[in-house]
Structure 1
């Protein structure tokens, strides 16, 4: 038996194939084509032609988070959404000059993070299938992210990183003894819905060379170590005698208990800062309704 995703795709493609083979006189010609996701906010969004009597299938090269799908429900219907596909159809043909935007976030952390499209109705043609291409990242050596994309408050809610329980924090004001010339100055631990983040300020001792943090790992009391995403507030090395600030973030299963990890920040020359007993407090209880 075909799975629902495959069945939906098969039906949509059969509809498109049948209409392609024998277009009715004066009917819209059905097309299958590929479009590229806009890499920056300055680039125009790809235009997709839709019609009230034809489903349009979007096939993505990377998994998507279907719960982040945004569109005008009064004008657009989503017939099906899967791990890599969306099938849409307007309630009716869009009016002349009417442009409806539809967008969805990808499931991974690679840029561009969101795919967005402008839906219009063309009296001559309709897109029955859209293959969505995502630009490949440049082939460069992995480095700590110099600057994170500017987030919007709604992004955190749409992606599910913040819910009614909010975010809990804990902090550490004490200092660890310097090892390998690195010392912890300050740490704030954040915990949200399905994620943890450590905001760490590190002192590089004056009698040691410049040091660039390159990777971070959360090591728990049980289970496999978790490789974190590492974001540096200031790109490059921390000079001798100066502070540097880094953020280490990773997704974790949702639980109702405190999480305790040892955080390791590794960098040049096998030097590393090891911070034990980093505590991420359990989520706050939701207010009673």
Structure 2
């Protein structure tokens, strides 16, 4: 178990040595901290300070399921993910008020099931190493190393699903011949405080490769809502190829007229999907 941690530390040192120092980064104090995982959805996510050009290493007290790692690829890079470690670095310093979540499930089935952190940029300090603490594992002799995929109960424990369940509605297929896209098999989901769009996007033959990097939901009223993009294959969609793309956003309450335009900003082209409607909450369950 010691070897992967030594490797992660070596990678952080190597990246740090290879990154040119700039005045703003040199002024930041580098911190090595212990951070406790949130026990449940009611608890605030621990804040971790990151900076462009400075890798931040997370060391976990138990094995993690790397396939469950979630982050906004347009703003955060994951430089390395090991059995018990993750190294992240922002694409650029985050603006004041910007916060991006990085999360991963533990592989041992314990509680809390997931470790999540809110990334910010601080002008004075940057965290170079975060020693993750898991309260339920305090004093345990040795965590179980058996890999474990997320289970249905995890979503209830995390507060992502409640008695109202999850509702879904189809989205009509959409052709954007001018920009070279076709959208098929799209479905909009709504859960407790979140919405998700699951779409299959085709990049027309003859077009250039395209990778969506930013997602935004714009309604008739209110501010645009930023969504994170999730793709199993994170390479560019080649001409003539179709790819499954998921967009996830936090949305505690839907507006009175929940009709949105979804914008996917990518390499040189933007895909706009109009008339995206999220379903009403499912009230089939009883307290």
TM-score normalised by L of structure 1? 0.52
User: Does residue 273 in structure 1 map to residue 271 in structure 2?
Assistant: yes
CA positional deviation for 1:60: 6.1
Match of 2:222 in 1: 223
Paired position in structure 2 for 1:120:
139
Q: Please give the alpha-carbon distance, in whole angstroms, between the structure 1 residues aligned to 2:282 and 2:45.
A: 31
Write the distance in 2 (CA, Å) between the matches of 1:201 and 1:154. 28
User: Residues 265 and 197 of structure 1: is their aligned pair in 2 closer, same or farther, counting only changes over 3 Å?
Assistant: same
1:245 maps to 244
Runs of 5+ unmatched residues, structure 2: 6-32, 47-109, 120-129, 142-147
Q: Deviations over 1:7-39 (max 9, x none)?
A: xxxxxxxxxxxxxxxxxxxxxxxxxxxxxxx99
Which of the pair has more CA radius of gyration?
A: 1
- Secondary structure of 1:198's aligned partner: strand
Could you give the per-residue CA deviations for residues 139-198 of structure 1, whole angstroms, max 9, x where no partner exists? xxxxxxxxxx94322221111110111101011243323231122123110100000000
Residue 281 of structure 2 corresponds to which residue in structure 1? 283
Provide Cα deviations, 1:218-250, integer angstroms capped at 9, x if missing partner: 111111111111011322011111111110001
Change in CA separation of 1:268 and 1:189 when aligned onto 2, cut-off 3 Å: same
SS of 1:176's partner is strand
- Give the alignment of 1:138-157 within 5 angstroms: 150-157=149-156
Distance in 2 (CA, whole Å) between partners of 1:185 and 1:119 is 48
Aligned residue pairs, count: 178
- SS of structure 1 residue aligned to 2:154: helix
Q: Is contact 2:199–2:245 with CA below 8 Å preserved after alignment?
A: yes
Structure 1 residue 118, shift from structure 2 partner: 2.8
How far 1:61 sits from its partner (Å)?
A: 3.6
Q: Which residue is 1:233 aligned to?
A: 232
Matched-pair contact (CA < 8 Å) for 1:217–1:263: yes
- Matching residue of 2:40: 67
CA distance 1:226–1:207, shift in 2 (3 Å): same
Paired with 1:265 and 1:274, the residues of 2 have a C-alpha distance of 6
Mapped partners of 1:112, 1:121: distance in 2: 17
Task: Say if 2:167 is the partner of 1:168.
Answer: yes
